[in-house]
Amino acid sequence: MSASLLELHDVSAGYGRTTVVNKLSFSVAEKDRLAIIGRNGVGKTTAMRAIMGLCSWCTGRILFEGQDISPLAPHERAMHGLGYVPQTRDIFPSLTVEENLVSGLKGRPRRAIDDAYAMFPRLAERRRLPGMQLSGGEQQMLSVARALLGRPRLLLLDEPLEGLAPLVRHDLLRAFHQMSQDIGITVIMVEQQVKEALAYSKTVMVMERGAAVHSGWSRDLLPDDQALERFVGLADH
Ligand SMILES: Nc1ncnc2c1ncn2[C@@H]1O[C@H](COP(=O)(O)OP(=O)(O)OP(=O)(O)O)[C@@H](O)[C@H]1O
Ligand SMILES: [Mg+2]
């Protein structure tokens, strides 16, 4: 595989006195699609927030393209090419779809929005609707589309399939595939829809209690129901 785009070295992070991510180390190669899976509360979201510089405290080293980004503020990390779609879908509910997209342009020409509409045609049909009138899947599409307008080299997706019906998940996954193939974007996807995440991703990391307990190829873990049961409790899914 090619050189690492992102490397975490002994990264710990948490809230107040609580340590949630505990000496986490992993790397993501350029063009990889990494799935991070694990039970509720093991620290997946906190790890994403640590990468983006959004934790109240964080120690260890985070390298992006070989540069230590740990001292950088969140917006500086975004300028370096990190994109983030949080678990809560950060759209503006009272702004229209189009206005939400404009807010993600960050100086790029307005026609870049057409690329977003090409990837998510449903957004084009709903361009004049306020964000709050979109379905959950459409809100997720809008959140992803807006993050893509910043042209990130690495996109962090935190449970993009959460709460969505199978058909909508299918549409989103198709867009994610297109994004990986056409734009060549590197993706980290945190997901509880384990089978879908493993089918989409190339590599996988399993987290338990703030640390990585397994890393490998997604295609090896996908058919291994026993391991999946042990790691995430397949019965939960
Ligand atoms: N803002 C916060 N302040 C204090 N504790 C927090 C905060 N956010 C998360 N935690 C705690 O950190 C732990 C890990 O949370 P985190 O959101 O990283 O887990 P997760 O793996 O993403 O879980 P889920 O699968 O439910 O999204 C939990 O015990 C949670 O209660
Ligand atoms: Mg989470």
Residue with CA at minimum distance from ligand 1 atom 13: 41
State residue 181's pLDDT score: 87
Q: How many domains does the chain have?
A: 1
Best CA proximity match to 184, nearest among 218, 150, 216, 152: 152
200: Cβ contacts below 8 Å, ≥ 6 apart: 33, 35, 173, 176, 177, 189, 218
Ligand 1 pocket, residue 56 CB under 6 Å = no
Ligand 1 pocket, residue 193 CB under 6 Å = no
State residue 3's pLDDT score: 75
Domain span at residue 186 reads 4-236
- Tally the residues of the chain: 237
User: Which residues, listed in sequence order, are joined to residue 207 by a DSSP beta bridge?
Assistant: 212
DSSP 72: S
pLDDT tens string for the chain (237 positions)?
A: 457 999 999 999 999 999 999 999 999 999 999 999 999 999 999 999 999 999 999 999 999 999 999 999 999 999 999 999 998 888 999 999 999 999 989 888 999 999 899 989 999 999 999 999 999 889 999 999 999 998 899 999 999 999 899 989 998 999 899 888 888 899 999 999 999 999 999 999 999 999 999 999 999 999 999 999 999 987 555
CA distance from start to end of the chain: 31
State residue 180's pLDDT score: 86
Cα-to-centroid distance, 234 and ligand 1 (Å): 21
The pTM is what? 0.94
Instruction: Give the CATH number for residue 129.
Output: 3.40.50.300
